[in-house]
Homo-oligomer: A and B are copies of this chain.
């Protein structure tokens, strides 16, 4: 079982649903504020005062303070209509309260308002950001000396940047080929199948199928083929970044006869909707998102992935990247990344085809902390199982995690990039997304040179720490870096800290899952979706009288309406959320659910289009839910609220239209 030291620490990590740790939080906030104020006073005390006590007695000053206080009171009143994420009664989206460390870290640094665009505007927090990037890379299993990571405003920008960089790496050999011709050199390179040949011998298909690491080796080798400026200009002159797609496609036709069909991006069919925004914005086009079906556990089907790759290869369609998901936002499902890797390896060997492998671990990335022990060694599934525990009533559930789950997590080390949002399972305030790349050289491919900078000088230099050069965003809050950094200090990225925290949420989700499995919902029947890979419990209710999916959907929409803040002024006892399983995204997952539902058919479901199947969701980010003995019984209360909402929903459905 869990070390009691970590278990008791949990109670000091959060403000608490009753503000139990308010005194602690106020002490730390006040300390940070006063510390900042006295820092100001100590800075050239000889400067005297800009705002004098007499100024504070003027009418204009007084009025301004009155306005400020009044408007703040108004804002505070407004904010009370906010969502009680902190409460055990909130089981909706992936939101909970934040660690005290992250809140205080954010606040303390916000007073200094550093801008992490460049070290000159953030001498402290840029270093903290680089450190956090390295910590996250280490948690993924990357070699920290080779990797590169940084914070972003969120998951969309992080995923966008990963695919933007991936495109540059995948197309790099084409640019390098053009540059080498221009520089009058030839270089030996590695093909997908491992053989080594002169660059000039590769055809277009082979160029786009060079393994990412080989492409970066080629890039590095090229720099010794001429002066810095010559190589720079030659590379830029042939890169997609410079030419743009319109000209690039024309040139490829010219140089290689056939420009190949548009490159595609493979994603699990349940991937987050932001991927569509991303490929649209990048100019790749949403038609080039190739969806790989999921299995009944909502995980990318590796066999289907293989078949898709074979098919694309036959049509000579290049693959830019494959996006595997570690923790879907709807179900917390985790792809069997180890098997995805096997498919990539097989494609490389058997088909001579490769691509950038990215894990969208925006939601699930912090779960990797579970796999590390205090000494920095991996924990086995059995070790983790023992610490998560398995109460009597959960005896019907499989043990968590399975060895496969652990293998999927360990496989993160073999990806080319991973995105992880500290503001999700890292329990830090918004905005804090992150992206880590296995090979730090990749960042040079997207670097820009602002006018005031001369070329990069080396690690740790002001140029190296001018983050705005290597990342998509410019100005960004150093406070976010301080926030994540302090939280990682207090909750280490292993079994003692975040590992323990994530384990407790899984234990809570399993407790809820087991209780729902055993709940008497008469006259309703509760259909549970498969056991979650982390901590999102999905289910839906039905009634013996129902004959159509429409009725089932109406019941569950009614429950959602009564258990959410979707209606203004709603005061639900417990809060959940819902999603819709639509075709074709859920084609591989919906059959077993429909068959257990005993209503509707796959055909009826498919015909319903966007309507799909309404599924209720509970994200258990509350680490306190797992401990039945202490505190309020939020599992029992939840089930009662669910039953009551179902009853009211059904009554409404059956009422004559005039009474609704």
Contacts and interface: CB of A to CB of B under 8 A. Distances in A.
22 contacts: A4-B60, A5-B63, A9-B60, A11-B61, A17-B50, A19-B36, A25-B37, A28-B68, A43-B84, A52-B630, A68-B100, A72-B105, A82-B122, A97-B113, A120-B566, A242-B286, A244-B285, A274-B468, A430-B475, A430-B477, A431-B431, A462-B566
User: Considering the complex of A and B, which 9 residue pairs feature the smallest CB-CB distances, nearest first?
Assistant: A244-B285, A283-B283, A8-B60, A153-B153, A245-B245, A19-B37, A246-B262, A9-B64, A12-B64
Given A259-B246, A462-B566, A120 B577 contact: yes
B155 A490 contact: no
Interface in A127-175: 128, 153-157, 160, 164
Interface string A95-114: 10110110111111111111
Contacts of A155: 474-475
A619 to B, nearest CB: 11
A41 interface: yes
Nearest to A489: B71
A22 interface: yes
Interface in A507-530: none
Interface in A246-290: 246-250, 259, 261-263, 272-274, 276-277, 279-288
Contact of A472 (B21, B273, B281, B612): B281
A277 B37 contact: no
Interface stretch (A73-81, A206-214, A531-539): A73-81
Contacts of A451: 273, 330, 579-582, 585, 612
A336 interface: no
A536 B424 CA distance: 40
A449 interface: yes
A229 to B, nearest CB: 8
Contacts of A418: none
Contacts of A64: 8-9, 11-13, 490
Chain A interface bracket (under 10, 10 to 19, 20 to 34, 35 or more): 35 or more
A274 to B, nearest CB: 5
Contacts of A114: 82-83
A48 B631 contact: yes
A272 B51 CA distance: 36
A549 to B, nearest CB: 16
A19 B38 contact: yes
A191 interface: no
Nearest to A118: B93
Contacts of A485: 75
A378 B225 CA distance: 61
A169 to B, nearest CB: 14
Interface in A17-56: 17-22, 24-26, 28-41, 43-44, 47-52, 55-56
B241 A286 contact: yes
Contacts of A424: 475
A427 to B, nearest CB: 10
Contact of A431 (B35, B62, B95, B476): B476
Contacts of A52: 20, 630
A370 interface: no
Contact of A277 (B14, B51, B89, B448): B448
Contacts of A607: none
A65 to B, nearest CB: 5
A59 B5 contact: yes
A37 B22 contact: yes
Interface in A394-441: 421, 423-424, 429-431, 433
A454 interface: yes
A63 to B, nearest CB: 7
A126 to B, nearest CB: 11
A447 to B, nearest CB: 9
Given A8-B60, A108-B72, A263-B246, A44 B87 contact: yes
